[in-house]
């Protein structure tokens, strides 16, 4: 077991080092910080950003929006998919709506959201529209793939419906959702930032990115990208920890 | 007192699995229903358990509350051994009683050290033990068993048969067991009902003399009798 974790670590560190090397070589070749900023100047910019008094609230607001997207979409997907699994006609109504949501270009959606909603909610709306169809499918999958044999066992032992829902259905849904939680959270963050770039709420990573771009401060843009990557990584680690806590049977 | 099965018929699409099957089963001890594979033994159990409905005919006298040991363990993967047993008791007892009953049974069979294990950490034989234990912990008057030892190798099978025998000794239950395995039938059951191939009928009802007196010659005698019938 241990051998594999070491190899896994090696496998995940090596590509990162090569990526940084490529960045270093490119920046040296181009030798122009506006096109490809060097590592040093990017680090300087990160420090400058972090020291800014608005930095914590900026990060927190974007994080808050991401979390809202994640929670609202999770809740909606569970409700919609549960209704779909009990009512064929509900499913046939909701399915085209969700597939429409999944196929509309995200930028067109942001533009519409800008017309309909206020600046603060655009990013959240965009995030939800993006991840809801994915989570919906996953929840439905989770419900449909519940082992028929386990349900039969519950029936023979006359287990009450409430207990069946609590002990079989809900865990199955949560296990299905948790299997994609990392990628949904990462997508939520990306979509929220995309929404922020265009709606420009007061405190947000998106509007800061636009600001750096306006000043043609490419190192600043790079600095924000690295901060976003770190944020994404932190979120994914938190999810891993929560998942292990919630589903200890999966640890084997 | 008997359970009665009268003129039971069941087909799946065009395939007739049971046709006018009738039998009486004593309401005590262990009755084994044997027969060639595909003769509808599992279907019969499922009709008795209410998992499947007969096309015609009736089953009379069966309890509403019964427990069932399936061919597979059918444990819930995200629940520990203890929680898997709790699951079938919820709503039947107070929470405190659920815990104490479960603990009593787990320690009775010496498995309390496994109570926090999840099924995927257990061997196939161990999982089937828990599934058998779950059926015993559940307060049912009748227990149905559908080839519960078939997925195991010989040594494990004998172990599990012993495990089952010990439990029956401690917790007297009326059991209907379905099997095509002569050793299982002879070792466990008081009565053996042999079914014919399709159309399924009762071919022979045998009293298991080996269970009256566990002597090797009785075992061989029973085996010979069954070999003639099967």
**Does the domain spanning B2-63+141-229 belong to CATH 3.40.50.300?**
yes
CA of B226 vs chain A CAs: smallest distance (Å): 31
pLDDT in tens, A67-82: 999 999 999 999 999 9
Is the ipTM here above 0.90? no
Instruction: Tell me what pLDDT residue A251 has.
Output: 59
Range of the domain at A92: 58-194+229-251
pLDDT tens figures, A137-179: 999 999 999 999 999 999 999 999 999 999 999 999 999 999 9
Q: Given this model, what pLDDT does residue B2 score?
A: 85
* CATH number of the domain bearing residue A111: 1.10.3720.10
For chain A, helix, strand, coil in percent to 5 are 85, 0, 15
Nearest to B119, CA basis, from B161, B87, B74: B74
Chain B CA closest to residue A154: B88
In a domain, A215, yes or no: no
Residue of A nearest to B78 (CA): A249
Q: Cβ B50–A249 below 8 Å, yes or no? A: no
Task: Tell me: pLDDT of B37 over 80.
Answer: no
Cα–Cα distance between A10 and B14 in angstroms, integer? Answer: 59
Q: Does the pLDDT of residue B191 top 80, yes or no?
A: yes
Give domain status of residue A102, yes or no. yes
Mean local confidence (pLDDT), B10-24: 86
What confidence score (pLDDT) does residue A1 get? Answer: 42
What's residue B148's pLDDT? 86
Tell whether B125 is within 8 A of chain A (Cβ).
Answer: no
Q: What is the pLDDT of residues B88-117, one digit of tens each?
A: 999 888 999 999 999 999 988 888 899 999
What are the structure tokens assigned to A46, written together? 């990160």
Asked whether residue A72 is assigned to any structural domain, the reply reads yes
Q: What are the average pLDDT values for consecutive 10-residue runs of chain A, which has 252 residues?
A: 56 85 90 88 93 95 96 96 94 93 87 90 94 95 94 94 94 94 95 93 94 92 95 94 88 51
Inside any domain, residue A160: yes
Q: Do B78 and A247 touch (CB under 8 A)?
A: yes
Mean pLDDT of B135-141: 91
Structurally, chain A folds into a number of domains equal to: 1
Structure tokens at B182: 């002569």
Give the residue on B whose Cα is nearest the Cα of A165: B87
The residue among A142, A150, A154, A158 with the most chain B CBs within 10 A of its CB, best to mutate, is A158
């Amino acid at each position: 077991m241990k051998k594999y974790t070491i190899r896994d670590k090696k496998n995940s560190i090596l590509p990162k080092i090569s990526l940084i090397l490529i960045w270093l070589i490119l920046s040296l070749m181009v030798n122009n910080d506006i096109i490809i900023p060097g590592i040093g100047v990017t680090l300087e910019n990160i420090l400058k950003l972090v020291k800014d008094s608005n930095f914590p609230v900026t990060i927190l607001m974007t994080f808050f929006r991401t979390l809202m997207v994640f929670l609202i979409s999770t809740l909606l997907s569970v409700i919609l998919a549960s209704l779909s699994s009990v009512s064929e006609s509900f499913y046939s109504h909701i399915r085209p709506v969700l597939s429409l949501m999944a196929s509309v270009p995200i930028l067109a959606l942001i533009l519409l959201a800008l017309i309909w909603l206020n600046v603060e909610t655009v990013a959240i709306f965009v995030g939800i529209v993006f991840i809801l169809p994915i989570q919906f499918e996953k929840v439905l999958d989770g419900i449909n793939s519940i082992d028929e044999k386990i349900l039969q066992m519950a029936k023979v032992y006359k287990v009450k419906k409430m207990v069946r829902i609590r002990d079989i259905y809900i865990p199955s849904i949560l296990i299905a959702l948790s299997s994609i939680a990392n990628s949904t959270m990462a997508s939520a963050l990306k979509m929220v930032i995309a929404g922020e770039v265009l709606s420009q709420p007061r405190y947000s990573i998106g509007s800061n990115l636009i600001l750096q771009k306006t000043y043609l401060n490419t190192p600043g843009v790079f600095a924000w990208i690295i901060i976003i990557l770190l944020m994404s990584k932190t979120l994914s680690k938190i999810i891993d920890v929560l998942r292990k806590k919630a589903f200890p049977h999966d640890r084997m | 007192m008997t359970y009665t099965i009268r003129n039971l018929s069941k087909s799946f699409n065009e395939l007739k699995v049971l046709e006018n099957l009738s039998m009486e089963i004593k309401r005590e001890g262990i009755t084994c229903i044997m027969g060639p594979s595909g003769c509808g033994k599992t279907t019969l159990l499922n009709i008795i358990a209410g998992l499947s409905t007969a096309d015609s005919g009736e089953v009379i006298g069966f309890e509403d509350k019964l427990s069932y040991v399936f061919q597979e363990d059918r444990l819930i993967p995200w629940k520990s051994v203890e929680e898997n047993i709790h699951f079938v008791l919820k709503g039947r007892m107070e929470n405190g009683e659920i815990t104490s009953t479960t603990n009593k049974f787990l320690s009775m069979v010496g498995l309390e050290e496994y109570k926090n294990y999840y099924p995927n950490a257990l061997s196939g034989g161990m999982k089937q033990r828990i599934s058998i234990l779950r059926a015993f912990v559940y307060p049912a008057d009748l227990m149905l068993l559908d080839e519960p030892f078939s997925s195991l190798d010989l040594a494990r099978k004998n172990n599990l048969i012993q495990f089952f025998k010990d439990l029956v000794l401690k917790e007297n239950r009326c059991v209907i067991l379905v099997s095509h395995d002569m050793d299982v039938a002879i070792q466990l059951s008081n009565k053996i009902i042999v079914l014919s191939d399709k159309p399924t009928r009762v071919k022979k009802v045998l009293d298991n003399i080996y269970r009256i007196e566990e002597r090797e010659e009785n075992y061989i005698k029973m085996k010979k009798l069954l070999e003639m019938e099967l």
